[in-house]
Amino acid sequence: MSLFSPLRRWGWGAVAASGLLVGGLAVAPSAAAADSVTVRLGRLSQTVSLDELQAFAATGEVPRSLRLYRPLLNASIQEVLQGEIALEPEVSQVILDEILQTPGGARLLDTLRAIAPNLAADDLRVTLEQVGKAESGLTLLGILRAMPQDTLEIDVGTLLTLASQFQLAQMESKALGRVLRKDPAAETAEPAPLLETDPFATGSSAVERWELVLRDHSRDRSIPLDIYWSKDSHGPLVVISHGFGADRRFFAYLAEHLASHGLTVVSVEHPGSNVAALLSLPPDDLPEAAAQSRILPATEFLDRPRDISYVLDRLERLNTYSYSLRDRLNTDEVAFIGHSLGGYTGLALAGAALDLRSLEAYCQTLNPVNVSPADWLQCAAQDLPVKYANLRDDRITQLIVANPLTGVLFGETGLSRVRVPTLVLAGTHDTVTPMASQQLRPFMQLPADKYLVTVVGGSHLSVGDPNNLNADLGRIPFMAELPDVTTAPLRIFLQGVSFSFVMQQTSEAEAYAPALDPAVAHAFSTTTMSLRLSQTVPEGLAAWPRLRQSGLHRQEGLISYLPSLLHLEALAIQDQFQALQRQMVDYLRHTPPSLTAVYWPFLGPQLPMQANQPGSKPATSQ
């Protein structure tokens, strides 16, 4: 789940540094086109030819006329200028509507106007109307050339402020990763031996997968689902919910693994927020469409939990009347697994009431430069006719939520109402649902009986199945980069930990408890992806300003990063000192110090050395 993610690889700061709004647009040349960019800093200004920027993009050499801007024209900007980007015409129109017609888009447009004072909404529309004419993607310079103005003005002062804010955010993310990477207890402990079945290895049961489509006539929704089961199926029922813009195969590898160990798994696809819905977006002439998000309908915040409850109702009947599935669908004990927006779905079903009474105020104060896709998506819920909804389903007895979308959707105290055991997974490189606001702070609100898995280096889609992701995801510009082989150890770890966690509500809980030991997570860590498992937020991080401030009243701007960075760096230094102390203690414990007598002749008069005869007195100085 991600918005504007072609920009993710470069970052909003680099995008701003290039005066870019439509980073995911592919356009064709227009008759009236820009041929220069005017850069302003206070009263100073200079017009830069796009041809000169083209030369820099091609060679990396800064032309004589641009030497004043040499500090800004680095390799990152060159990569931005060279990057070729394409976008489906249908989706480009929807993005334009989001920018021009929704409150969140209006704030983004205001920020871009501060960067580019002569940038008009009509200019954006003219540029986007040419998207469908382009057979392939164009570079940023090609996009700038298609702008109707003769020149595009850039305010360097505003630009540098926003770019600095982005850079500080990146520094904060790296500092957080350094703090979370250290787990002394897990590094020194030996994992407890697993009893009998290895939860990380594939089970012995032969798995069957059935595909069904359930029709909820009362809501006019057709809900596809996959059922993974075997002749050995027993224990709790597992239900999986995908994130925004994905489908029911996102966790296919995890469903297969759990079913191979004898669990029945039902993977649900939500028709209003899956990849198919994104590729068949509603027309813009629907009533009140101009004021609402077309990318994520607000009704999905109600319909997704109701999809699960409806599916459980139907599965309960199948459990009674189906010859093959009879007594294999334990709808009284349901372990729910959700990713991203699916994580929100599970928390709502587990008792966290949807509480939007403060959402409008929160969304009005968002800084468009710092806004994450999670902020953009949760603000779509403002369009709901209700501000409070209890979607709890008591059949949900466990939760596993990976990179969940939470934000302020549950108000200040909604998550404290979740009374089922919960495992939360978060990644430090998740730019879609950022760790601090979407996972760490919400985790602290959850009652006891909870686990936190932090993945240093993990992104939003690191836990996804690279072999089963819908091919259409590649056509959507606001999807984060897809997982690759470097995330394989994480997926193996998630398989074993998920199964062991689910088994904690069975009579075999004791046999699988060792897999939930922090030392096991450390054993699956790699140089590129470090795993940490705990039941609390790491010591010292609970006082981090980002976690202490309310989600409804967060501090924005450059000044908010100073106390945050100082706190994280202090924690990192403290960890280094503690590690050095442990090394010294360990060395002294295993290598006792030896004592050596040293003779210093110049410290005093030296007595003659002689042997004492028996019965004689010791020699004395005269």
Q: What's the pLDDT score for residue 32?
A: 53
Q: What's the pLDDT score for residue 197?
A: 78
Contact 450, 424 (CB under 8 A): yes
230 pLDDT higher than 50: yes
**Neighbour count for residue 274 (Cβ, 10 Å):** 21
Question: Dihedral of CA 308/314/317/322: which sign?
Answer: negative
Mean pLDDT of 221-243: 96
Contact 23, 87 (CB under 8 A): no
Which residues are CB-neighbours of 570 under 8 A, at least 6 positions away? none
Which residues are CB-neighbours of 502 under 8 A, at least 6 positions away? 235, 236, 238, 258, 263, 335, 398, 400
What's the pLDDT band for 613 if we cut at 50, 70, 90? low
> What residue has token string 């990380």?
200
Separation CA 260–CA 276 (nearest Å): 29
Separation CA 375–CA 397 (nearest Å): 29
Higher-confidence position of 30 and 61: 61
Q: Is 411 left (phi over 0), alpha (psi -120 to 50) or beta?
A: left
State which amino acid sits at residue 373. Answer: P
Residue-averaged pLDDT of the chain: 79
Contact 249, 464 (CB under 8 A): no
Largest CA distance in the chain: 121
- Return the minimum-mean-pLDDT range out of 61-70, 155-164, 464-473, 610-619: 610-619
Mean pLDDT of 207-213: 97
545 pLDDT higher than 60: yes
- 345, two tokens: 């779905």
Q: What's the pLDDT score for residue 361?
A: 86
What percent of the chain lies above the pLDDT cut of 90?
Answer: 38
Q: What's the pLDDT score for residue 555?
A: 47
21 pLDDT higher than 70: no
Rounded to 5°, angle at Cα 153 from 148 and 159:
130
Classify strands 396-402 and 334-339 as parallel, antiparallel or unpaired.
Answer: parallel
Separation CA 439–CA 441 (nearest Å): 6
Beta strand ranges found along 279-433 (DSSP E) = 334-339, 354-355, 388-389, 396-402, 422-427
Among residues 541, 575, 568, which one has the least CA distance to residue 182?
575
Mean pLDDT of 266-278: 91
Contact 12, 369 (CB under 8 A): yes
Mean pLDDT of 537-549: 79
What's the pLDDT band for 375 if we cut at 50, 70, 90? confident
Residue 90 parent element (H or E): helix 89-101
Highest averaged pLDDT of the listed ranges 140-154, 306-320, 355-369: 306-320
Higher-confidence position of 367 and 29: 367
Query: Which tens digits make up the pLDDT trace of 113-171?
Result: 777 787 776 776 666 565 445 555 556 677 677 676 677 788 877 777 777 776 777 77
443 pLDDT higher than 60: yes
Q: What's the pLDDT score for residue 340?
A: 95
433 pLDDT higher than 60: yes
Higher-confidence position of 126 and 464: 464
290 pLDDT higher than 50: no
72 pLDDT higher than 50: yes
**Entry pTM:** 0.79
Mean pLDDT of 359-367: 82
Classify strands 334-339 and 264-268 as parallel, antiparallel or unpaired.
Answer: unpaired
Higher-confidence position of 244 and 169: 244
Among residues 565, 460, 586, which one has the least CA distance to residue 169?
565
Query: Which tens digits make up the pLDDT trace of 485-530?
Result: 789 999 999 999 999 999 999 999 999 999 999 999 999 999 889 9
